[in-house]
């Protein structure tokens, strides 16, 4: 795909065979790869090469590895290896196949308050553990949270690229991953003190970010939207939008908890993330513990679920199911995240991301949607082979979400039987329904 630097088949340090490109951020790229000896499928993260070899980028990547290793937890993406390739460091994580909360919001617009309390109480638990280990994430947002149907934890927190570590006896002040005086993070989710670059930021920046996520899951919008300066001005001059008016069905104690997380003065927020978890736990209904999300990890698909129970779509809370399609579903589908390009008949190119797949079609997250009946040509990597699949497709439904994000359900047209069989095998492996 456009913007990648390693082609499928590239061998990294004689150990990792690149299968496909997954994503690119501001300073790093992520690939799906296979370990040559063990056959384990992993996610390999390395610095972008188009910006040159920036030692600060390399240092940040290495320290992200330190942060994830220190925060080890079932709800944190697992780091399994690290190394150096062509003079640049790389990190190796477990490969997650699933849906981000961001993709889920694009398909659902907003969630029921019971599911919001349920999933965010689990997020709060994981982040509380990170804080206890001296790791402040600093970039909590829906796109950095995978929703997974595991038996013990239903989410996986990832992307610790701008995390901050508490000083240790070994590392001293060098354990900090970012320097005071620099703005880092996504402005809509940043606490006021982070936007203002205050010197005494602490774990309460994550509490504010979680409050924004709670607000967004309930309403489909964030309290203050825009770029850094826009958010800072609006946050400083405008009152917090009334959550009680936007979601009158939400219980007052949930509204009060979110508003406390979003206090402008950090002294007015919960003191710790554990306190947030306790507040949310009191509102969580007895929903099924195993399948909360729309994705699984490869370990689960291979039989790694310690519960030994079979996951079914009927067990999944309604808000975490796939977006509806007209009529009875013809093909089982499974979560699958990969970049994709859609070319329209007029030549317009739409870049986006696949988040679900079946042998009959995909769910596509992109800056704009296509009305039912519109057609285009897709290009993306197949799940198992990494081969670039080129196929026609027709839109069957579309939904608009915040920040110009749309979810569209496409049905394949003219896809080869070989590709159908490969996708069908992947869906079966992932326990699709």
Distance CA 271, CA 293 (A): 29
Residue 368: which residues within 8 A CB-CB, separation 6 or more?
A: 350, 404, 406
Contacts 24+ apart (CB under 8 A), 34-43: 36/11, 40/80, 41/95, 41/298, 42/16, 42/80, 42/81, 42/92, 42/93, 42/94, 42/95, 43/92, 43/93, 43/94, 43/95, 43/96
Sheet with 155-157, strands from edge to edge, namely 99-100, 145-147, 155-157
Among candidate residues 125, 139, 206, 300, the one labeled active-site is 139
Decide if 139 is catalytic: yes
**Which pair of tokens denotes residue 210?**
């979680």
Distance CA 223, CA 261 (A): 12
Distance CA 57, CA 236 (A): 32
**Which pair of tokens denotes residue 384?**
């198992």
Rg (CA), the chain: 21
Distance CA 10, CA 280 (A): 46
Q: By CB neighbour count within 10 A (0-12 exposed, 13-18 middle, 19+ buried), where does 325 fall?
A: middle
In this structure, the chain runs to a length of 433
The answer to whether the beta carbons of residues 140 and 120 sit under 8 Å apart is no
Distance CA 11, CA 340 (A): 24
Distance CA 166, CA 209 (A): 19
Q: What are phi and psi of 154, to 5 degrees?
A: -95, 5
Residues marked as catalytic:
139
């Amino acid at each position: 795909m456009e913007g990648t630097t390693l082609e499928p088949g590239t061998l990294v340090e004689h150990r990792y065979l690149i299968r496909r490109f997954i994503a690119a951020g501001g300073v790093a790229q992520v690939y799906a790869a296979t370990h040559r000896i063990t056959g384990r499928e992993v996610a390999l993260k390395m610095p972008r090469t188009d910006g040159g070899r920036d030692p600060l980028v390399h240092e940040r990547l290495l320290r992200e590895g330190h942060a994830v290793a220190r925060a080890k937890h079932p709800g944190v993406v697992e780091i399994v290896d690290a190394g150096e390739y062509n003079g640049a460091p790389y990190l190796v994580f477990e490969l997650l196949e699933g849906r981000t909360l961001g993709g889920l919001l694009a398909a659902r617009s907003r969630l029921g308050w019971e599911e919001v309390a349920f999933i965010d109480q689990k997020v709060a638990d994981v982040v509380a553990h990170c804080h206890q280990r001296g790791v402040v994430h600093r970039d909590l947002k829906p796109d950095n949270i995978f929703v997974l149907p595991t038996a013990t934890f239903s989410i996986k927190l990832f992307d610790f690229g701008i995390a901050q570590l508490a000083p240790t006896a070994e590392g001293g002040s060098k354990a900090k991953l970012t320097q005071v005086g620099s703005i880092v993070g996504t402005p809509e989710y940043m606490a006021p003190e982070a936007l203002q670059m205050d010197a005494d930021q602490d774990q309460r920046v994550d509490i504010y970010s979680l409050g924004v996520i709670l607000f967004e899951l309930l309403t489909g919008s964030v309290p203050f939207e825009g770029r850094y300066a826009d958010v800072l001005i609006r946050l400083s001059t405008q009152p917090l939008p009334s959550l009680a008016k936007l979601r009158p069905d939400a219980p007052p104690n949930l509204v009060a908890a979110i508003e406390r997380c979003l206090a402008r003065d950090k002294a007015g927020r919960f003191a710790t993330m554990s306190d947030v978890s306790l507040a949310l736990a009191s509102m969580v209904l007895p929903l099924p513990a195993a399948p909360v999300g729309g994705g699984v990890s490869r370990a689960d698909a291979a039989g790694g679920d310690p519960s030994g129970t079979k996951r079914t779509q009927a067990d999944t809370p309604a808000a975490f199911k796939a977006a509806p399609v007209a009529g009875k579903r013809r093909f089982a589908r499974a979560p699958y995240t990969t970049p994709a390009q859609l070319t329209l008949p007029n030549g317009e190119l739409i870049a986006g991301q696949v988040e679900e797949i079946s042998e009959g079609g995909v769910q596509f997250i992109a800056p704009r949607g296509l009305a039912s009946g519109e057609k285009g040509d897709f290009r993306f990597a197949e799940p198992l082979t990494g081969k670039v699949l080129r196929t026609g497709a027709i839109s069957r439904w579309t939904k608009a979400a915040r920040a110009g994000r749309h979810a569209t359900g496409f049905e394949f047209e003219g896809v080869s039987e070989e590709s159908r069989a490969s996708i069908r095998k992947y869906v079966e492996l992932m326990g699709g329904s």
